[in-house]
Structure 1
Amino acid sequence: MTTTGSTLVIGATGTTGSRTAAQLTAAGHRVKAASRQATPVTGAESVPFDWYDPATHAAALDGVDRVYLIPPLGDSDVAAIMLPFLHQARTVGVHRAVLLSSSAIPEGGPAVGMVHQALPDMFEQWAVLRPSWFMQNFTGAHAHAVSIREDGIIWTAAGSGRVGFVDAEDIAAVAVRALTDDHAPNTDLVLTGPETLSYDDIAVIITEVTGRPVTHRRLSYEQMRDRLTALMPVEFAAMLAGMDRAIAEGSEDRTTDTVQRLTGRPPGGFRTLLERETRCSS
């Protein structure tokens, strides 16, 4: 794809943003890496950006023709925050937008689903990435990873429901294709890993790979909601607990060929990722 401007990567120090910025710069694309502290990102121009501070938006958009959008975390009404920025982006010449959403949230659904619904009318080229749950939730700073490290427990209301957990590296690879290919897909893309796993399966794999006993503790929807409320606003906690309940009912028991189709290689599996990260940390 021939480009005249830079790609703005919002959340460039986060789980998918950091990987997307790194893969774009490695491929020779110009990147503006946006984060609240303007944290330096190798090969990119780092700029301050805060969804809740419109004074940071104009400078971040200067010279940009594409944008990777990561919604503000923990906000149940992200459309109210994001849509004014997207109107501004379109006005200054951004023509392609790639939005990170979730496999659990359809177009027009709650929170980021409303931004998904608005995107096609705002940009001539667009894509919505709807990944399943991140594999890195069990290895990074997510609440699951913290409870695994501190207590050897994964707490969910997902029961025996299965999820097509996906590697953030694969999400980033699809994001890069959606941002740079000559023909943007102009569609939503559900991303999964190569297989579905229950949280019981995840606990077994972590135990086998790391040698540390990990168990899955099953909570009710109400127990999970109340547990999450200690960490985030109650509306967002209720939404996440509801997603667990939907998993228990089979909503995420699926795999797709999106990663293979867009990147030309199969998605990575959870055991492979965990073995890689265990080796790197040892």
Structure 2
Amino acid sequence: MTTSGTTLVIGATGTTGRRVTAGLLAEGHRVKAGSRSAEGARAVRFDWYEPTTWGEALDGVDRAYLVPPVGSSDPAAVLLPFLRRARAAGLHRAVLLSSSAIPAGGPAVGLVHEELPGLFPEWAVLRPSWFMQNFAGSAPHARSIRADGAILTAAGHGRVGFVDAGDIAAVAVRALTDDRAPDTDLVLTGPQTLSYDEVAATISEVTGRQVVHRHLTFEQLRDRWAAEIPLEFATMLAGMDRAIADGAEDRTTDTVQRLTGRPPGTLRAFVERELERNG
């Protein structure tokens, strides 16, 4: 049994946001698709750093899917003022995209996670493991695979429960629309943990192109990231790889199965799908 309100999807053109939007629409729910481009019939312009866009986005909605600003090391600075305004405007359910690597009260979006239960009567925090989509499209790993046949990390032999963004979106749809919100943080993983060496081997087997995992030091990865993004954020990302090396992501959960009724997709199935899609 599900309820039907109007949902604001922030980041509606992004990796999970567009899938959440599609999932809600497929079930007949009303959606406002918030993005900076505001493209499409249901689109509304939304920018975390332009509070003048918040009012129209919040008008008439009672729930929201929240994707923090990309690349920000301090998302709470904009999310918390927005969420207080959203509560005053009548929002009663919020589903926040966070990360399995960041607990409530932790850095970055962890500060928003900590505040969320006190702001809304119905809430959930999605804490997915690392996305399978990191190996496709314009993501850094995908670029290095295409350019050099290599995945570069500081994760060593650490294992990760890589999860498909489609499974994250499916859980988000349930958290947004089911009669009872989970009112908890949900760690999402795929069905198994894999090292980056095993990821490279799987991609090689499926695509027929040799892909290797190159082991970098924390400092090498930090400096590589810092060439593209602010040093503070680059340091945080490299630190997440170091945590993987120490075993922080070596776990699987039943969250996808429990909330959606189906098992999470495998990395092999993801790579096969991407290969078929892109020829």
Calculate the TM-score normalised by the size of structure 1.
0.97
Q: Deviations over 1:42-95 (max 9, x none)?
A: xx6101111001111100111110000000011111101110000010001000
Q: Deviations over 1:3-39 (max 9, x none)?
A: 3x41000000110001000000011001111111112
Q: Does 2:144 correspond to 1:144?
A: no
Is the 8 Å Cα contact of residues 164 and 265 (structure 2) preserved in structure 1? yes
Equivalent of 2:184 in 179, 182, 187: 187
Aligned mates of 1:22, 1:50 — CA distance in 2 = 21
Partner residue, 1:32: 32
Aligned mates of 1:198, 1:36 — CA distance in 2 = 36
For residue 140 of structure 1, report the CA deviation from its aligned partner. 2.2
Aligned mates of 1:52, 1:126 — CA distance in 2 = 23
Aligned mates of 2:25, 2:215 — CA distance in 1 = 42
Aligned mates of 1:216, 1:73 — CA distance in 2 = 26
Aligned mates of 1:199, 1:141 — CA distance in 2 = 19
Q: Does 2:88 correspond to 1:91?
A: yes
1:251-266 to structure 2, matched below 5 A, reads: 251-266=248-263
Aligned mates of 1:39, 1:160 — CA distance in 2 = 42
Aligned mates of 1:275, 1:185 — CA distance in 2 = 33
Partner residue, 1:271: 268
Equivalent of 2:245 in 233, 248, 262: 248
SS at match of 1:275: helix
Q: Deviations over 1:190-240 (max 9, x none)?
A: 000000000001111111111111111111101110000011111110000
**Percent identity between the two aligned chains:** 70
Equivalent of 1:219 in 216, 234, 237: 216
Aligned mates of 2:273, 2:71 — CA distance in 1 = 30
Partner residue, 1:205: 202
Aligned mates of 1:261, 1:129 — CA distance in 2 = 14
Q: Which amino acid aligns with 1:96?
A: R
1:107-126 to structure 2, matched below 5 A, reads: 107-126=104-123
Is the 8 Å Cα contact of residues 34 and 44 (structure 2) preserved in structure 1? yes
For residue 159 of structure 1, report the CA deviation from its aligned partner. 0.3
Aligned-residue CA RMSD (Å): 0.8
Partner residue, 2:15: 15
Aligned mates of 1:87, 1:259 — CA distance in 2 = 30
Aligned mates of 2:233, 2:87 — CA distance in 1 = 29
Q: Deviations over 1:154-182 (max 9, x none)?
A: 11000000000000000000000000000
Aligned mates of 1:149, 1:27 — CA distance in 2 = 37
Aligned mates of 1:196, 1:39 — CA distance in 2 = 37
Q: Does 2:3 correspond to 1:2?
A: yes
Equivalent of 1:228 in 222, 225, 249: 225
Q: Which amino acid aligns with 2:29?
A: H
Q: Which amino acid aligns with 1:91?
A: A
Figure out how many residues of one structure are paired with residues of the other and give that number. Answer: 278
Q: Does 2:57 correspond to 1:56?
A: no
Aligned mates of 2:273, 2:223 — CA distance in 1 = 34
Aligned mates of 1:113, 1:55 — CA distance in 2 = 26
Which aligned runs of 4 or more in structure 1 are off by greater than 6 angstroms?
none
Q: Does 2:131 correspond to 1:131?
A: no
Q: Deviations over 1:121-170 (max 9, x none)?
A: 00000000000000010012211111111111111000000000000000
Aligned mates of 2:240, 2:249 — CA distance in 1 = 9
Aligned mates of 2:202, 2:266 — CA distance in 1 = 11
Equivalent of 2:150 in 150, 153, 164: 153
SS at match of 1:216: strand
Aligned mates of 2:260, 2:200 — CA distance in 1 = 29
Is the 8 Å Cα contact of residues 3 and 178 (structure 2) preserved in structure 1? no
Is the 8 Å Cα contact of residues 171 and 260 (structure 2) preserved in structure 1? yes
